[in-house]
Structure 1
């Protein structure tokens, strides 16, 4: 992907969303831009208008950390957005945080990792990479994500979100789920802009989904660490689950996510019912038999 274009569009969209009132400035009159002017951002960051304009044109290579931090403060970037800006700057300098690339191979979880997943029985647990590919699950995770693993999603949460109509039932707040999917992919683009499989996925979704194209153009980024989500599973109905995301130290670029329900809640009872359904195997088997694990590298890049 064109890093200069990514930088240009990211900074422009961040500036457009920040009003003078938000920045503690007088709005004045005859404003022709929806957000701050370049001169106002430059003033807030204590850099010259010429220098900031150069940055917003995408010329971010060689910019110091102190200037990047000043721009981040001026644009009121949150932590995920600030990290994304730094990732883009590293990419512009020809450096990324991704581990050296290896030949693509079919990734399989280490026996110890799969044992750890299988030891989690109270909720769905799975491993995914930055491309939103589900790479390994526990038994309850396979039952929970059976439609993700079997169908247009082909084991990819973003593809499921935008190319499988069943996602609109699975995610009661589909708009928010779609926003998160795209924001995570944006993070991954900054982390490893050379990932061809990621480029191919974005191209596929951009071609096939207007909802994706609209969100991709917004340049929003987000970390997906913890929180609460609502789901509607086709077997057990409504679920309200808390999730925790953990980075896998031994597998850079991969995350372990675990969903749990509040003890004694209807959601916990429904998860137990789903676990019982999964244990029968006879209904779960069709989803397993058609699922092919995505071809990926162990580093998720």
Structure 2
């Protein structure tokens, strides 16, 4: 029943966002009792009977052919991410669809960490649940706030909606929140039986009305590439491009890198970030050096003092 409700809400939200004019339908005047397209208009645009489309919008997508799904996607003017989400929803209610998760091996191996450490730009490993699973030194420096959160592993959605520092960190917090919610929605559509995803969504919905309001919009997005502007507490404002590279064995776990255009203030910011990241590794070594030099100094003084006595 949960899957059917998800399908219903998604399709209704998509047709509510398209006006007859946007769909190329003639304006007939009069008051419309529904926002956006009516079911019969979507059915007509899809080349389906009203009864068949109505049944599908009620969650009966199981067994729908690819051509039918494509027709609905065209009628509702779905983008690539929304189309993929529709296919995920249909697969989850298809007869014989799996109801158990395959066991996954831990994605962050020593070799993956080596790859991260070999990169000269900030890099992190994250999953579809938006957990930050690993990072190189620059990645840790970029997201220093997240690594100090009480609940670990760090989670981008928890940070954006539950940590007040996020308001300053993201130059456009509204855009950041919309993106994170849309990524979570796409993740839930791919694997609605993932208990950890369900728990995270439940936690955020309970603790943040802002999250629940955005969640109800049913927007979806695949986190592949884009740009984000951040206000780093040490370095300042940086406009960064991010790119996702899926790890072999689990397409929902990826390495995300952050780069800046050469010769820009943001590129200078990354250079400064690298310098600051290095200083974060210095205190322990510095303390060791201090203790070592202090010991040597004490021994030398003692020897000189003993020598003087003799």
TM-score, structure 1 normalization: 0.89
Match of 2:69 in 1: 68
Larger radius of gyration: 2
Match of 2:271 in 1: 272
Residues 36-86 of structure 1 deviation map (CA, whole Å, 9 limit, x = unaligned):
010100000000001111111111111111111110000000010000000
Match of 1:252 in 2: 251
Q: 1:113 to 1:4 in 2, by over 3 A?
A: same
Match of 1:145 in 2: 143
Residues 147-189 of structure 1 deviation map (CA, whole Å, 9 limit, x = unaligned):
1121256400011110001111111100010001000001111
Q: 1:152 to 1:169 in 2, by over 3 A?
A: farther
Q: How many angstroms apart in 2 are the aligned matches of 1:20 and 1:100? A: 42
Offset at residue 30 of structure 1 (A): 2.4
Match of 1:209 in 2: 208
Residues 114-168 of structure 1 deviation map (CA, whole Å, 9 limit, x = unaligned):
11111112x2111110000011111100011111121256400011110001111
In the alignment, is residue 15 of structure 1 matched against residue 15 of structure 2?
Answer: yes
Offset at residue 108 of structure 1 (A): 5.9
Match of 1:181 in 2: 180
- Asked whether the equivalents of residues 170 and 229 of structure 2 are also in contact (C-alpha less than 8 Å), the reply is yes
Q: Number of paired residues? A: 281
Higher mean displacement: 139-148 or 244-253: 244-253
Match of 2:47 in 1: 46
Q: How many angstroms apart in 1 are the aligned matches of 2:217 and 2:278? A: 42
In the alignment, is residue 95 of structure 1 matched against residue 100 of structure 2?
Answer: no
Match of 1:242 in 2: 241
Offset at residue 281 of structure 1 (A): 2.5
- Asked whether the equivalents of residues 123 and 258 of structure 2 are also in contact (C-alpha less than 8 Å), the reply is yes
Match of 1:229 in 2: 228
Match of 2:56 in 1: 55
Q: How many angstroms apart in 2 are the aligned matches of 1:284 and 1:147? A: 19
5+ unaligned residues in a row in structure 1: which ranges?
Answer: 286-301
RMSD (Å), alpha carbons:
2.0
- Asked whether the equivalents of residues 153 and 160 of structure 1 are also in contact (C-alpha less than 8 Å), the reply is no
Picking from 95, 103, 122, the partner of 1:124 is 122
**Residue 241 of structure 1 aligns to a residue in which SS?**
strand
**Residue 77 of structure 1 aligns to a residue in which SS?**
coil
Q: How many angstroms apart in 2 are the aligned matches of 1:66 and 1:201? A: 35
Offset at residue 111 of structure 1 (A): 1.9
Match of 1:295 in 2: none
Q: How many angstroms apart in 2 are the aligned matches of 1:19 and 1:12? A: 13
- Asked whether the equivalents of residues 126 and 136 of structure 1 are also in contact (C-alpha less than 8 Å), the reply is yes
Q: 1:25 to 1:242 in 2, by over 3 A?
A: same
Match of 2:303 in 1: none
Match of 1:6 in 2: 6
- Asked whether the equivalents of residues 152 and 163 of structure 1 are also in contact (C-alpha less than 8 Å), the reply is no
Match of 1:298 in 2: none
Which structure has more RCO (C-alpha within 8 Å, separation ≥ 6)?
A: 1
- Asked whether the equivalents of residues 101 and 193 of structure 2 are also in contact (C-alpha less than 8 Å), the reply is no
- Asked whether the equivalents of residues 153 and 163 of structure 1 are also in contact (C-alpha less than 8 Å), the reply is no
Match of 2:164 in 1: 165
Residues 253-283 of structure 1 deviation map (CA, whole Å, 9 limit, x = unaligned):
2111100011121111121111111112358
Match of 1:289 in 2: none
Q: 1:153 to 1:21 in 2, by over 3 A?
A: farther
